[in-house]
Structure 1
Amino acid sequence: MIAMILESPLYTTNYGAAYIGDSLELLDCIEPDSIDLVITSPPFALLREKSYGNVDQEAYIDWLFAFCKKVYRILAPQGSFVLDLGGAYQSKRPVRSLYNYRILIKLCDELDFRLAEEFFWYNPSKLPSPIEWVNKRKIRAKDAVNTVWWLSKTDNPKANVSKVLVPYSERMKKLHENPEKYYKPKERPSGHDIGTSFATNNGGAIPSNLLQIPNTESNSRYIQLCKAVGIPAHPARFPQKLPLFFINFLTELGDTVLDIFAGSNTTGFAAETVQRRWIAFEQNPSYLAASAFRFLDANENNDAAAKLFEKLLRKQEKIKITPSETQLHHSFI
C-alpha cells in the first residue's frame, strides 16, 4: 500500500498518478516492500551537461547510489529493479567509462541486490557518436547499446518469460509445419542429445537478453502536441517498447510500477496500456505536465492540450485524464 502522504499528484489516470518532486524525498513517502517493479532511466553520466540535468561523471556513482538505496527499501521482496544506463567515454580520451559497471557492483556488494540478468538495449536508429572518435578520427564504432541491469532483492523475483515471447523465425515456422522434413534429431558436439521437443509451437520464441528496439518516436501524439503547444519535448525519451517489455515480463495485474526519473512518463503510459498501477516521479514541472499529452483522448484537439498544460502548471484543481480505449494496446515487441 502506498503511504497516504503521496496525496497531491499533478495528475491521475485510471491506473496511475504522476508527482512533481525530488525522488529522494518522494521515495521516503512510500511504504517499505510495496512496489513490484521500479524501472527507470536516470540522467546518464555524460561529459557534457544536458538540458534534463545530468550529473558529472566523477560524482555520478554516489549520486545514483543514494536513490538506489531508497529503491531497495520500497521494493517488494519478489519485486524487480530495472536500471537503464547508457555508456560514456572518459573526458578527452577514446576510452570507455566504467561507471555503469561500477554502480552495478556497488549495488550488489553494498545493498545486497542480486543481478537477476543483464540486458542490452540495441538502438539501431541511434546516430553515430561520439563525433570526435567515430565521425572525425574514425577510430571507434558508434555506440548503439545501453546496459540494462535487472536487479532483485532475492534469487527468485517474480518473472514469466512466456508473457514476452517473440515471433518465430521463418525457418522455425517451417519446422513447426513439418518437423520430420526440416529437422533430424542428432547429438551436438557438446554431447547434448537434441530431440524434437523444441519443435512444439508454444506461441512464440523465448526472447534473448539483447533487445533490439529503435528509438524513433519522431511523430507520436506526444511529440505532435508538444510542437502544437510550443513547448520542448523531453530530449531523452524511453521508447515505449522497452519499459513495456519489462512490465509484461516482471509484473501481473494489480502490481505497481514506479519510475523515479519519469521525464515524459513513457513508463507510466506503458503500464496504463496493460492495466498496471503506476507512479511517476519527476522534478521538472514542464516535462511532467507535457507528459499528460500521452494520456489524452485521440479526439482532443491542440487547444485542449494547451489548456491542460496550463492547468497542470498552475495546478489549481485535481485533474484526472482518461485515455481512450483506442490508445491502450498490448503489443510489446
Structure 2
Amino acid sequence: MHDELEARRVCYATSLGAQLSGDSLEMLARIPANSVDLFITSPPFPLLRKKAYGNEDQQNYVAWLNEFAKLAKDALKPTGSFVIDIGGAYQKGVPVRSLHQFRALISFVDDLNYYLVQEFYWYNPSSLPAPIEWVNKRKIRAKNSVNTVWWLSKTEYPKADVSRVRVPYSKSMQRLLADPARYYTPKDRPSEHKIGKAFGRDNGGALPSNLLTIPNSQSNDSYLRAVKSLGLSSHPARFPLKLPEFFIQMCTEPGDLVVDFFGGSNTTGRAAENLGRRWISCELDHEYAAQSVVRFMPAANMGEVRASIEGIVAGKSLRL
C-alpha cells in the first residue's frame, strides 16, 4: 500500500501502518479501489470561530465533506464500512442548532449512494458546559453531550459482528446468570415477544446498544502526558481510544485495513495497531502528524521522543 502512496510524506511507520502528512484528498485519490475495510474518522466540525485544527465554514461544510466521502467510497471494499463522527454546532449569533450533520448524512445517501447501516450516538458524560453564551452566561440551553456517528456502507450487508463488542452484564443480569431459576421465569411479554430459557445463558457479555457512553476526560492519558512534558501543544480535538476501537472490532478482522483521513493525534492508528489491523492515518498539519508519534514510542526516554518529533518535522521519515 505504501508504494501507491509514495507522493505522500510518511512521518513514521510501524509494521502495520503509517502516519502520513498532507492533503487527504490527494491521499484518498491514490488509494486503490476496493481496498479499504474500514474508514473511521472525525472531521473538523463547522464551528463559528476558527480553530487551530482548521474547521470549515458552516455554509460550505457539506460540499467540502462530500469530496472526501466520494473518494472514500471508491476506495472502500464492497463489504467495507465508512464510519464518521460529526458533532453538532449552533448557528451564528442565535441559540438554534445547525443541521450540518444531518444534511451531510442525507447527501451521503442521496448523492453518493451510501447506505445508512445504523446511526450511533456517542455520549460523553464528561463534556463541558458549552457554548458559554447560551449555557453558562444566559443559561437558556443545556450542555451538548452527544455526537452523531453515522455508520455507512456500499451495501446493505457490510461485514460486521456485534458479538465482538459485547459489554459487561449489569449487576441484575449477573445475579440472574448465577441463579436463573431464582430470578427468572420464561414468559411472554405484553408485546407477545417470547423470551425463552436461552435468555439466562451466559454469552460472555451483553450486546451493545447504539448509544456509546465513552468519557473523553483523559486529561492525563499517555499522549497528553508526553506532549505536555515536551512543552508542545496537543491536538485540541481528540476522540477517545474506545470509540474507534468499538468500530474496528465490530467491522474488521485482524489484518484488515483501517484508514483515517482526518488523523489528528492518530487515535485511530493507535487503536488499529492495538487490535492487529493494518492502518493509514493522514493529517494535514505536519506538526500534529509528527507529534502523534508519541503514541507509538515508550515514554521512558523523552529525549529520544523529542528527537524523533524534531526529525519528522524537519522532513525525516521514522521507522518504528
Above 0.5 in TM-score? yes
Offset at residue 319 of structure 1 (A): 1.3
Letter in 2 for 1:281: C
Aligned equivalent of 1:46? 47
**Cα distance in 1 between the residues matched to 2:2 and 2:106:** 30
**Cα distance in 2 between the residues matched to 1:140 and 1:103:** 24
2:4 alignment partner, SS class: coil
Judge conservation of contact 1:123–1:215 (CA < 8 Å) in 2: yes
Instruction: Tell me whether 1:30 sits opposite 2:31 in the alignment.
Output: yes
**Cα distance in 1 between the residues matched to 2:5 and 2:198:** 53
Aligned equivalent of 2:186? 185
What are the superposed Cα offsets for residues 274-323 of structure 1, whole Å, 9 maximum, x if unpaired?
Answer: 11000011110100000000000243x2211111111111123x4112xx
1:57 alignment partner, SS class: coil
Instruction: Tell me whether 1:94 sits opposite 2:95 in the alignment.
Output: yes
Letter in 1 for 2:106: I
Aligned equivalent of 2:294? 293
Deviation >6 Å, runs of 4+: none
Aligned equivalent of 1:117? 118
Judge conservation of contact 2:123–2:211 (CA < 8 Å) in 1: yes
- Point out where structure 1 has 5 or more consecutive residues left out of the alignment: 322-333
Aligned equivalent of 1:277? 278
Aligned equivalent of 1:127? 128
Offset at residue 10 of structure 1 (A): 1.2
Offset at residue 2 of structure 1 (A): 6.1
1:170-249 matches, cutoff 5 A: 170-249=171-250
Offset at residue 241 of structure 1 (A): 0.5
**Cα distance in 2 between the residues matched to 1:228 and 1:138:** 37
Aligned equivalent of 1:309? 309
**Cα distance in 1 between the residues matched to 2:183 and 2:223:** 47
Letter in 2 for 1:315: G
- Point out where structure 2 has 5 or more consecutive residues left out of the alignment: none
Judge conservation of contact 1:3–1:29 (CA < 8 Å) in 2: no
**Cα distance in 2 between the residues matched to 1:154 and 1:120:** 22
Judge conservation of contact 2:299–2:305 (CA < 8 Å) in 1: no
**Cα distance in 1 between the residues matched to 2:131 and 2:49:** 12
**Cα distance in 2 between the residues matched to 1:5 and 1:40:** 19
Aligned equivalent of 1:141? 142
Q: What is the identity percentage for the equivalent residue pairs of Structure 1 and Structure 2? A: 54
Offset at residue 218 of structure 1 (A): 1.1
- After TM superposition, the score normalised by the length of structure 1 is 0.93
Deviates more, 1:103-112 or 1:127-136: 127-136
- After TM superposition, the score normalised by the length of structure 2 is 0.97
Aligned equivalent of 1:254? 255
**Cα distance in 1 between the residues matched to 2:194 and 2:280:** 48
The number of aligned residues is: 319
1:37 alignment partner, SS class: strand
1:249 alignment partner, SS class: helix
1:43 alignment partner, SS class: coil
**Cα distance in 2 between the residues matched to 1:13 and 1:196:** 48
What are the superposed Cα offsets for residues 119-173 of structure 1, whole Å, 9 maximum, x if unpaired?
Answer: 0000001001111211222221110000000000000000011110000001001
Judge conservation of contact 1:160–1:249 (CA < 8 Å) in 2: yes
Aligned equivalent of 1:151? 152
Judge conservation of contact 1:3–1:30 (CA < 8 Å) in 2: no
**Cα distance in 2 between the residues matched to 1:194 and 1:26:** 50
Judge conservation of contact 1:65–1:103 (CA < 8 Å) in 2: yes
**Cα distance in 1 between the residues matched to 2:307 and 2:44:** 29
**Cα distance in 2 between the residues matched to 1:244 and 1:197:** 29
Deviates more, 1:118-127 or 1:213-222: 213-222
Q: RMSD value over aligned CA atoms?
A: 1.2
